[in-house]
Amino acid sequence: MKRSKQMRQSELKETIEETPFITDEELSKRFDVSIQTIRLDRMELSIPELRQRIKSVATHEWNGTVKALPIEEVIGEVVDLELDQRAISILDIQQEHVFSRNNIARGHHLFAQANSLAVAVINEDLVLTAGSSIRFTRPVKFGERVVAKAVVRGEDTKGRTIVHVHSYVENEEVFAGSFEMYRENDPKEMDEE
């Protein structure tokens, strides 16, 4: 069933309000129109592109909330954050993230996304990674979107905060990590070890 332009734009606006992180490609499939049509509709409705919507939410909701590092230093775009509980970030794999020979993402970008999210989720001024155990479960390719989900799991016997991060492309896990995070309680604690 073909929708009128007015009906499509009304539904498009409603869809983006309900799911602000939906891509133009996903909208194109949902409304059975070209990506260019979606972009034109967004422009007419003054709805910014996905990257701008993500930055807007992150800047307004979490700027000043994240203590350990500026929100713009988190690798990927933070889309959900509850300090000392959980956090989610999105990283779109671009040309600068991949090996030129095979278009596979360099592992340090996935690690950096997970590690910076583990730092950001902790409600302290100084947070350092004391240790980590990581596993890559499948290669990530150019153009894929990586969603990293961090969950604070409590403290270990040394009083360090344990943060588990799992990263996904669509619903497939591509990275898993457990991070031991040093929180600033006693600045001498780390030097003495």
pLDDT digits (tens, 9 = 90+) for 128-177: 999 999 999 999 999 999 999 999 998 888 889 999 999 999 889 999 99
Q: Where are the domains of the chain?
A: 5-47, 68-192
Buried b (16+ CB within 10 A) or exposed e, 160-173: bbbbbbbbbbeeee
Q: So what's the pLDDT on residue 56?
A: 60
Identical fold between 5-47 and 68-192: no
Instruction: Answer whether 43's CB lies under 8 Å from 54's CB.
Output: no
pLDDT per position as a tens digit, 59-117: 545 444 666 666 677 888 888 888 889 988 999 999 999 999 999 999 999 999 999 99
pLDDT per position as a tens digit, 26-71: 899 999 999 999 989 988 888 878 767 666 655 545 444 666 666 6
Buried b (16+ CB within 10 A) or exposed e, 109-130: bbbbbbbbbbbbbbbbeebeeb
User: In the CATH hierarchy, which fold is given to the domain comprising 68-192?
Assistant: Thiol Ester Dehydrase; Chain A (3.10.129)
Rounded-to-integer distance, Cα 20 and Cα 49, Å: 10
**DSSP symbol at 32:** T
Reading phi first (left if > 0) and then psi (alpha if -120 to 50, else beta), residue 159 is in left
Rounded-to-integer distance, Cα 165 and Cα 168, Å: 10
Q: So what's the pLDDT on residue 21?
A: 72
Tell me the CATH class for 5-47: mainly alpha
Report residue 69 as tokens: 């590092």
Report residue 139 as tokens: 């290669």
User: Given pLDDT bands bounded at 50, 70 and 90, which one contains residue 3?
Assistant: confident
Reading phi first (left if > 0) and then psi (alpha if -120 to 50, else beta), residue 32 is in left
Q: So what's the pLDDT on residue 125?
A: 85
Identify the residue whose tokens are 């999105």: 90
